[in-house]
Amino acid sequence: MSNSSIEAVPRLSVIVITRNESASIARCLASVSFADEIVVVDSGSEDDTVARAQACGARVVSHPDWPGFGPQKNRALDLARGEWVLSIDADECVTPELAAEIQAVLAAPTHAGYEIPRLSNFCGRYMRHGGWWPDRVLRLFRRDAGRFTDARVHEKVLVQGSVGRLRAHFLHDTHPTLDSALAKMNRYAIDGALAAHARGKRASLGTAIGHGAWTFIRMYVIRRGFLDGRHGFVLATVSAMGTFSRYAKLMFLTSSPKAGSEGKPDDGH
């Protein structure tokens, strides 16, 4: 067989998990058009997410069940063929500066993985306090050296080898409206409570109140969320509500497993 008939191994694969991301998927995938391949794993979208992703040149595989963020991202990772993998959420996009830095790093990599800072938007404002910046996440890694944890929520990449840091950042439009923030808060609380219950964790009303109050104090006071003005106050309050809700749901799961309700969240963080 001649060399010309052998398909080249992709240098960089981008992986994305989706569900009902019609409003953001095209922008997300357009920002990673420099990649050699784009793999999307969709968990039963009811809108035109799949069609939009395919129109952007992505290879889309559907898995209608929802095993959690970690297992779903590992499904996408297993489909990637590139030597390197960039994991990106559908509500994120790569800036031109980050795209250039990624390509420069892959030309002469010195680590097995790289953390990338995220600048996240909350209700129309990019937040630089409250613990939301620089929010470094390990997303670029050698495919043979990295794997996602099996956590239902707040999964992370574990890499065998050294980890470096990039300077350019993702843009993360995680909560465009307060309604979307509250809806996502509830989905994460459900998954968080279920995961904690599966690990044998227990909670009481006091636990829920204490953790909720500490979340607000940590974000708004200790991490200076007040410097983000009214957005900082609302973000700390919503986050505290989410923490309280997670422990309250766990409390009811502890007393009655049927008291919890399982949801299928979208892929955003």
Query: Can you give the pTM of this predicted structure?
Result: 0.85
Domain ranges for the chain, please list them: 3-174, 177-259
In sequence order, the 6+-apart residues with CB closer than 8 A to the CB of 260 are 190, 193, 194, 197, 249, 252, 253
- Which ranges constitute the DSSP H helices of the chain? 25-30, 49-55, 69-79, 96-107, 178-198, 205-216, 229-255
Model pLDDT, residue 7: 60
Superfamily of domain 3-174: Spore Coat Polysaccharide Biosynthesis Protein SpsA; Chain A (3.90.550.10)
Tens-place pLDDT, residues 176-232: 999 999 998 998 999 899 989 999 999 999 999 999 999 999 999 999 999 999 999
What's the CA gap between 205 and 215, in Å, rounded? 16
Tens-place pLDDT, residues 107-138: 999 999 999 999 999 999 999 999 999 999 99
Model pLDDT, residue 87: 98
